[in-house]
Amino acid sequence: MSIHPEIEKRRTFAIVSHPDAGKTTITEKFLWYGNVIREAGHVRAKANRSYTVSDWMKIEQQRGISVSSSVLNFPFEGCQFNLVDTPGHQDFCEDTYRALTAVDAALVLIDSVNGVEKQTIKLMEVCRMRHTPIITFINKMDLDGRNVLDLLDEIENVLQIKVSPFTLPIGCGKLFKGVYSIAENTFHTFNKEEGKQEILKMTGADDPRLLEICGENWTKEFREQYDMVTGAMEPFDRDKYLKGEMCPVFFGSAVNNFGVRQLLNAFTKLAPPPMIRETDIRFVDPNEPNFSAFIFKIQANMDPKHRDRTAFLRICSGSFTRGEKVFHCRSGREIRLAAPTAFLAKDKEVIDHAWAGDIVGINDPGLFHIGDTLTNGEKFNFTGIPDFAPEFFARVTLLNPLKSKQMNKGLQELSEEGATQLYQPVKSPVPVIGVVGELQFDVLQFRLSAEYGAEVALDRMPSFGIRWVVGPEADVEAFVSEYALDCMQDKEGRTVCLFPNEYRLNLAVKNYEKLQFELTSNR
Ligand code: G4P
């Protein structure tokens, strides 16, 4: 099947990085290259983030961090990019993980000084699970960073992916001279003033001009690294890249807009257009004429002036036109997509037409759940959109008792957004919430109060971990009656058990051989 040009030019990706690696800075440069913003100014200090392009919630501005993911679209060199932002704080929420289910590729951003950091490792686990193709950018080469070969080695070992450097830096910190493109045999000279950066054609790594420009020591070190990379490392293999087994590596400095264009160019050439996706009955090709999509994120009250809920759709096949009716597979209902929107951070723009690979927002009348599939009429469900086991738990107590209706509505809606999980204990009427990152407790308390008028106290519950209890019905029932104090139901009515310690979990595994105790729940 030949691929439709509109679909072929889509590149839907996310940035995987640890806070402070430069994600906001590089995003702004991308938008600048896409002519979406006129000035790619310097990223403001965190405390003054009120006008950061991708922040839209009040709490984000108060905290000076980004806690909700947004979607940005920009064109570049004939491609249409959809960048799904992953919240950048070290405290995770499920949104961060789930954003990765909506993309076809990822950019891993690494700080040259700090190397591979904790949040990158966690997010890479999701990429590995999904075999997401990865391109790596090592940022902040203008600082005194770590040794290049050590960094490459760390990526291979810690992130468990083969590296294939497309460029190599010469010098670093104050003596950073530029990057050498192995594939093109060019030398890109570094200068903080972008206008003074040059791309020079070289005859090879042994071109004598390198010596003139970079000096003897740096050139010698570079040539050794070059020989090592080209002689001893496995050559780049695009199939391996597409399977998430090998990643091209680029070096640069986002804040100096150095190496960013080359990175985007590589993305247009290497990153895949929308790929085939699996459902519970068959594989769906993006080029099929029939529309299909799934919901990977729901966000309430994006616009404080209107109480609204937006569901974010990832289109997987075909295209759709504004006003078209689609089939909601879980409820069996037909719904009209009256005002689908594309997003540019705070600005929403109603769109008339969208294609496979695009991410659009639709108004959610309270019907949608994360993971829901929409089609042209065929009944199937996209798979592989997991629920991740939360790590922190709290009982929710209402402080102003007249607001119980508001609290329940808030808890329900915020859990449908996916940032918090809501559980109903078998033996108690007091709801329990679970979150992947502790910051979500503050976000929940703040939003329940600001958006629903319900003040709550959160009583933290020390625990070892939660597991979905799966197996024959009779065994699940027997388990629930023995472990009644620890058992709860999730929003889909599935049984979960909050184990207070590892011993209790091991005992359950031993005594209930027919049951599985699962860490993620796949729909
Ligand atoms: P994040 O979204 O991944 O959290 O990172 P962000 O882009 O906010 O960048 C974090 C800090 O790193 C910022 O400095 C930013 O200016 C700086 N930075 C980004 N790219 C580079 C680079 O290539 N070289 C150097 N030297 N710094 C870089 P900040 O101190 O937080 O803010 P500001 O005081 O610079 O405004």
For atom 4 of ligand 1, which residue has the closest CA? 20
| 3-class secondary structure, 117 | coil
- Other C-beta atoms within 10 Å of 479: how many? 22
| CA 251 to chain centroid | 22
Q: Which of 16, 25, 110, 139 to mutate to test the pocket of ligand 1 (most atoms within 8 A of CB)?
A: 25
Q: Are 255 and 192 in contact (CB under 8 A)?
A: no
* Residue type at position 287: N
Beta bridge partners of 518: 468
- Other C-beta atoms within 10 Å of 333: how many? 10
Cα of 138 to ligand 1 centre, how many Å?
13
Cα of 7 to ligand 1 centre, how many Å?
34
* CATH superfamily assigned to domain 278-375: P-loop containing nucleotide triphosphate hydrolases (3.40.50.300)
For atom 14 of ligand 1, which residue has the closest CA? 45
**Predicted pLDDT of residue 391:** 84
For atom 26 of ligand 1, which residue has the closest CA? 140
Ligand 1 atom with minimal separation from the 17 CA:
3
Q: Which two tokens stand for residue 210?
A: 């390198």
**Predicted pLDDT of residue 278:** 93
**Location of structure tokens 């493109």:** 181
How far apart CA 315 and CA 275 sit, in angstroms, is: 11
How far apart CA 397 and CA 430 sit, in angstroms, is: 7
Cα of 84 to ligand 1 centre, how many Å?
20
For atom 29 of ligand 1, which residue has the closest CA? 45
Q: Which residues of the chain have pLDDT under 50?
A: 39-57, 59, 63-69, 345-346
**Predicted pLDDT of residue 41:** 46
Cα of 175 to ligand 1 centre, how many Å?
19
In 3D space, the residue among 250, 267, 322 whose CA is nearest the CA of residue 291 turns out to be 322
Domain boundaries, the chain: 5-168+235-273, 278-375, 392-518
Q: Are 55 and 36 in contact (CB under 8 A)?
A: no
**Predicted pLDDT of residue 220:** 95
Cα of 280 to ligand 1 centre, how many Å?
43
How far apart CA 223 and CA 214 sit, in angstroms, is: 12
Burial of residue 492 (CB within 10 Å: 0-12, 13-18, 19+) is exposed
Q: How many residues does the chain have?
A: 523
CA angle, 378 then 350 then 336, to 5°: 30
For atom 32 of ligand 1, which residue has the closest CA? 45
- H or E segment to which residue 482 belongs: helix 473-482
Cα of 254 to ligand 1 centre, how many Å?
8
CA angle, 380 then 382 then 385, to 5°: 150
> Between the CA atoms of 48, 50, 56 and 59, what dihedral angle is there, to the nearest 10 degrees?
60
DSSP result, 300-367: E-SSTTS--EEEEEEEEESEEETT-EEEETTTTEEEE--S-EEEETTEEEE-SEEETT-EEEEE--S-
How far apart CA 36 and CA 26 sit, in angstroms, is: 14
Ligand 1 atom with minimal separation from the 253 CA:
23
**Predicted pLDDT of residue 90:** 54
In 3D space, the residue among 423, 350, 249, 314 whose CA is nearest the CA of residue 14 turns out to be 314
Q: What phi-psi label fits residue 155: left (phi over 0), alpha (psi between -120 and 50 degrees) or beta?
A: alpha
Cα of 45 to ligand 1 centre, how many Å?
8
Which residues form ligand 1's pocket by a CB distance below 6 Å? 17, 19-25, 42-46, 88, 139-140, 142-143, 253-256
Longest dimension (CA), the chain: 80
Ligand 1 atom with minimal separation from the 18 CA:
3
**Predicted pLDDT of residue 343:** 58
Give the CATH number of domain 392-518; options: 3.30.70.3280, 3.30.1370.100, 3.30.70.260, 3.90.850.10.
3.30.70.3280
Cα of 42 to ligand 1 centre, how many Å?
9
403-407: long-range contacts at Cβ-Cβ below 8 A with a sequence spacing of 24 or more?
403/452, 403/453, 403/454, 403/455, 404/454, 406/452, 406/453, 406/454, 407/448, 407/452, 407/454, 407/456
| 3-class secondary structure, 202 | coil
Please determine whether the domains at 5-168+235-273 and 278-375 fall in the same fold group of CATH: yes
Give the CATH number of domain 5-168+235-273; options: 3.40.640.10, 1.10.600.10, 3.40.50.300, 3.40.50.1820.
3.40.50.300
For atom 33 of ligand 1, which residue has the closest CA? 45
Cα of 77 to ligand 1 centre, how many Å?
26
For atom 30 of ligand 1, which residue has the closest CA? 45
Q: Which two tokens stand for residue 93?
A: 């929420």
How far apart CA 193 and CA 182 sit, in angstroms, is: 24
368 phi and psi angles, rounded to 5 deg? -90, 150
